[in-house]
């Protein structure tokens, strides 16, 4: 009978000791990122005796002590998909917000050096020329303002190109990062299965794989399903990315323009290209920033450069310089000289707008006059003070003209300045929307993480309370051993007294 009591006391000692060990593990990892609080689940041992023909007589069954049934992770499995879904959207909007912030910086409209300021200076100098058409300093100022405008347009376009290239490289980097996570998840699956088939609880390994899954879902939309052996199956775009111990890599395949499209490796150099909405997360955000935001403003800048150069050239070639020259384009498609309208070397986009070097070399060739004088001079020259054409060019500032795309299709109509201001206004609205979406998603993810932390996080106060409880139970079990030992000693000594 004393042996039976000692056995019960022993189970109590072992169970409380293990509970204290689990509590110690919680306290040690209170600040560990991704750690999930654990708890020793206690249950009673099978009672004695079990029903049967040879069971001993006596009243009822007696308990045989306690055991640790399992060490449980305190985690709400329904919160994980919610957090990952919102983190996916957060990752997407963060990338777009970063890109749009860079676009705003490139246009510099919050400073005095933005394209709008340079464009206004260009028109103002033409207005000044219309008042002093024979002044060489005024003509030089027009050339300098025009060169600055062309340089600013080209430089802005070049910076947008660089941003687009950086975003494209960012997609490749994110693909490599996702592949690294997929490989780590597959490796952890193998370790988890080994522990699970041994009948143990791979709690710390499950924490590590959950942390990897959270990080993966910030980059790409990954559908996760938990298997019976605690391993996970990951699908991206409806295709297996992790299945058991095997991971399948994502691929970054460059198209004809060198822009990466993301797919999944089918083997033998083949890839199945996935749609961006199926990928989601940071990858979709980078693609949107690259293909919609950066590319869109590059396209608008192309339209602005073509509309500006076409409007100014058409009017400029109708006027006359101080030496009577006419038909000379003002803006050209490269840095060379163009002297005749038959070979105007038209501007094809924002990256190819220059002031005609022929005019730059001699500002007297600016066609400010509207006609030649009838004084009979040979060669004929404009009348002094004739600024009719310069005034007409200045008036282009407020003249509605067709804005065309690269194919020559009219996409809108309006003044050049209003077209640019509309483009900047759209940029401001898009940037504000992206910033607000990031803030909203951050708040939502923080709220969900707080709910998760309330369940899975380690509270040191709670753990200290549990430790005192387990310590008291351990001391009681130890005292029980002492009591049984004393009872046994008395029984043994009864016959000796």
Examine the pLDDT at 408 and tell me if it is beyond 90: no
Instruction: Give the residue-averaged pLDDT of 301-317.
Output: 93
The SS3 assignment for 134 reads coil
DSSP codes of every residue in 202-263: -HHHHHHHHHHHHHHHHHS--EEEE-TTS-EEEEETTEEEEETTEE--EEEEE-TTS-EEEE
The SS3 assignment for 399 reads coil
pLDDT score, position 405: 72
Examine the pLDDT at 1 and tell me if it is beyond 50: no
pLDDT score, position 323: 87
pLDDT score, position 342: 63
Question: How many angstroms from the chain centroid is the CA of residue 455?
Answer: 29
pLDDT score, position 494: 79
Beta bridge pairs of residue 403: 412
Examine the pLDDT at 57 and tell me if it is beyond 90: no
In angstroms, rounded to a whole number, what is the distance separating the alpha carbons of residues 348 and 247?
47
Q: 229 or 58, which is more confident?
A: 229
Confidence of residue 339 (pLDDT cuts 50, 70, 90): confident
Provide CB contacts within 8 A for 238, sequence distance 6+: 278
pLDDT in tens, 225-279: 999 899 999 999 989 999 999 999 999 999 999 999 999 998 888 889 999 999 9
In angstroms, rounded to a whole number, what is the distance separating the alpha carbons of residues 149 and 248?
51
pLDDT score, position 95: 96
The SS3 assignment for 420 reads helix
**In this predicted structure, which of 3-7, 69-73, 92-96, 474-478 has the lowest mean pLDDT?**
3-7
Question: How many angstroms from the chain centroid is the CA of residue 72?
Answer: 35
Confidence of residue 60 (pLDDT cuts 50, 70, 90): low
DSSP codes of every residue in 147-216: HHHHHHHHHHHHHHHHHHHHHHHHHHHHHHHHHHHHHHHHHHHHHHHHHHHTT---HHHHHHHHHHHHHH
Could you count the other beta carbons within 10 Å of the beta carbon of residue 9? Answer: 21
pLDDT score, position 344: 67
Question: How many angstroms from the chain centroid is the CA of residue 441?
Answer: 12
Examine the pLDDT at 375 and tell me if it is beyond 70: no
Examine the pLDDT at 348 and tell me if it is beyond 70: yes
Examine the pLDDT at 61 and tell me if it is beyond 80: no
Residue 270 main-chain phi, psi, to 5 deg: -100, 145
Mean pLDDT of the chain: 90
Confidence of residue 72 (pLDDT cuts 50, 70, 90): very high
- C-beta separation of 9 from 484 below 8 A: yes
Confidence of residue 59 (pLDDT cuts 50, 70, 90): low
Please state whether beta strands 66-73 and 246-247 pair in parallel, antiparallel, or not at all (unpaired).
unpaired
Examine the pLDDT at 280 and tell me if it is beyond 80: yes
pLDDT in tens, 88-139: 999 999 999 999 999 999 998 877 778 999 999 999 999 999 999 999 999 9
Q: What percent of the chain has pLDDT over 70?
A: 95
Q: Which of 263, 267, 217 is nearest to 246 (CA)?
A: 267
pLDDT score, position 240: 92
Provide CB contacts within 8 A for 89, sequence distance 6+: 280, 437, 441
pLDDT score, position 406: 65
Q: How far is CA 131 from CA 205, 258, 326, in A?
A: 80, 50, 20
Examine the pLDDT at 377 and tell me if it is beyond 70: no
- For the chain, the structural domain boundaries read 2-74+458-496, 81-103+172-292, 109-159+294-429
In angstroms, rounded to a whole number, what is the distance separating the alpha carbons of residues 372 and 8?
119
pLDDT score, position 52: 67
pLDDT score, position 294: 95
Confidence of residue 383 (pLDDT cuts 50, 70, 90): confident
Q: Which three-class secondary structure string do you get for 49-112?
A: CCCCCCCCCCCCCECCCEEEEEEEECCCCCHHHHHHHHHHHHHHHHHHHHHHHHHHHHHCCCCC
Instruction: Give the residue-averaged pLDDT of 440-446.
Output: 95
Instruction: Give the residue-averaged pLDDT of 340-351.
Output: 78
């Amino acid at each position: 009978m004393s042996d039976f009591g000692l056995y019960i006391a022993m189970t109590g000692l072992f169970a409380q000791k293990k509970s204290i060990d689990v509590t110690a593990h919680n306290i040690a990892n209170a600040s560990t990122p991704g750690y999930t609080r654990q708890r020793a689940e206690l249950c009673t041992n099978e009672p004695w005796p079990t029903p049967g023909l040879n069971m001993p007589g006596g009243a009822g069954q007696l308990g045989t002590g306690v055991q640790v049934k399992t060490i449980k992770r305190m985690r709400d499995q329904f919160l994980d998909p919610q957090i990952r879904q919102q983190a996916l959207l957060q990752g997407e909007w963060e990338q777009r917000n970063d890109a749009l912030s860079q676009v705003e910086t490139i246009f510099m409209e919050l400073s005095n050096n933005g394209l709008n300021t340079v464009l206004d200076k260009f028109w103002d100098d033409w207005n000044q020329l219309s008042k002093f058409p024979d002044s060489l300093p005024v003509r030089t100022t027009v050339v300098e303002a025009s060169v600055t405008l062309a340089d600013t347009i080209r430089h802005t376009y070049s910076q947008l190109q660089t941003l687009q290239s950086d975003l494209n490289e960012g997609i490749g980097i994110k693909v490599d990062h996702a592949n690294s996570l997929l490989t780590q998840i597959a490796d952890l699956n193998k370790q988890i299965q080994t522990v699970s088939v041994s009948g143990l609880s791979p709690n710390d390994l499950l924490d590590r794989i959950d942390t990897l899954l959270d990080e993966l879902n910030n980059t790409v939309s990954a559908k996760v399903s938990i298997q019976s052996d605690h391993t996970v199956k990951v699908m991206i775009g409806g295709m297996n990315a992790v299945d058991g111990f095997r991971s399948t890599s994502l691929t970054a395949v460059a198209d004809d323009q060198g822009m990466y499209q993301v797919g999944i490796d089918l083997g033998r150099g083949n890839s199945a290209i996935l749609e961006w909405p199926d990928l989601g997360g940071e990858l979709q955000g980078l693609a949107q920033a690259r293909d919609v935001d950066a590319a869109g403003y590059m396209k608008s800048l192309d339209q602005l450069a073509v509309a500006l150069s076409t409007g100014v050239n058409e009017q400029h070639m109708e006027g006359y310089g101080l030496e009577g020259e006419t038909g000379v384009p003002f803006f050209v498609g490269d840095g060379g000289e163009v002297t005749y309208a038959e070979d105007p070397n038209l501007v094809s986009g924002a990256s190819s707008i220059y002031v005609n070097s022929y005019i730059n070399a001699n500002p007297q060739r600016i066609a400010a006059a509207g006609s030649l004088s009838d004084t009979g001079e040979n060669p004929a020259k404009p009348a002094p003070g004739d600024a009719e054409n310069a005034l007409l060019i200045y008036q282009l500032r407020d003249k509605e003209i067709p804005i065309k795309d690269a194919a020559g299709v009219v996409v809108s109509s309006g003044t050049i300045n209003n077209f640019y201001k509309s483009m900047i206004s759209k940029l401001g609205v898009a940037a504000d929307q992206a910033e607000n979406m990031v803030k909203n998603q951050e708040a939502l993810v923080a709220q969900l993480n707080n709910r998760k932390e309330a369940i899975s996080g380690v509270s040191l106060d709670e753990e200290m309370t549990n430790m005192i409880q387990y310590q008291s139970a351990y001391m009681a079990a130890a005292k029980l051993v002492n009591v049984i030992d004393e009872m046994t000693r008395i029984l043994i000594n009864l016959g000796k007294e």
